[in-house]
Amino acid sequence: MYYKYLKLYIKNNNKMKVIQSQKIILPKYKPAKLHETAFTMSFENMFNIKKAYKEVIGLNNIDHISINIVNEKNEMSIISLNPSIAYSIIDDGSYIYNGSISPDFYRNKDFYTWEEAYDPNFKSLLKGKMQIATGIAEGCVLTKKTNNFYVLFSFASKSKNIEFKKHIYDNKQLFYKIGEHCLDLIKPIYNNYATDESELILTRPKLKLVVNNEV
């Protein structure tokens, strides 16, 4: 199944540089299904995203945040403080080996690190693009399911003086609150790209005003 998928991907995507001209290596984890605006919304809304995330950057050793939203069609959108991280692995196709955005992880785990989710065959490549090139020492993901959506809160730190994984694990509820706060702020950005109501996330029901004139 994946072999067929990858052959079609190579045929239709000239930017699949990682596995072109070499033996196809099947992904260890199921690749993420990216929304057509998967990461372009991050580039197009950089000012408002930075404005939304700036309150928490620097707190609890957080240097990077990305909130990934998976809709009912299993399509993932990425709203990142540093969209170049996602772009670098989408551009060359190596994202299909990045288990940190794979449904095998976000559907089955509520917490994991970037590094443990990298496909072993491409671990050096992914770590080089996502961490070494950006100065990130460690990245972690907290996940939650909201109705028919999955939300991935991805936090990363450049600090090498702390055990970031342990810090988040020991303070999960705090980091969930941070993630939820940021999600509320970027929700209008995500919803602005929805093509139908099923793609809207966390929309509040319309309330009908009821006036009671009885004394």
Q: What is the pTM of this model?
A: 0.84
**Residues 104-127 pLDDT 10s:** 999 999 999 999 999 999 999 999
Fold of 29-194: Beta-Lactamase (3.30.450)
For residue 6, the model assigns a pLDDT of 47
> Are the C-beta atoms of 80 and 49 separated by less than 8 Å?
yes
Per-residue pLDDT tens, the chain, 215 aa: give them.
Answer: 334 444 444 444 444 555 554 567 889 999 999 998 887 899 999 999 999 999 999 999 999 999 999 999 999 999 999 999 999 999 888 999 999 999 999 999 999 999 999 999 999 999 999 999 999 999 999 999 988 899 999 999 999 988 999 999 999 999 999 999 999 999 999 999 988 777 787 544 443 434 344 43
For residue 9, the model assigns a pLDDT of 46
For residue 153, the model assigns a pLDDT of 98
CA 129 to chain centre: 15
Q: Where are the domains of the chain?
A: 29-194
> Are the C-beta atoms of 129 and 98 separated by less than 8 Å?
no
For residue 213, the model assigns a pLDDT of 43
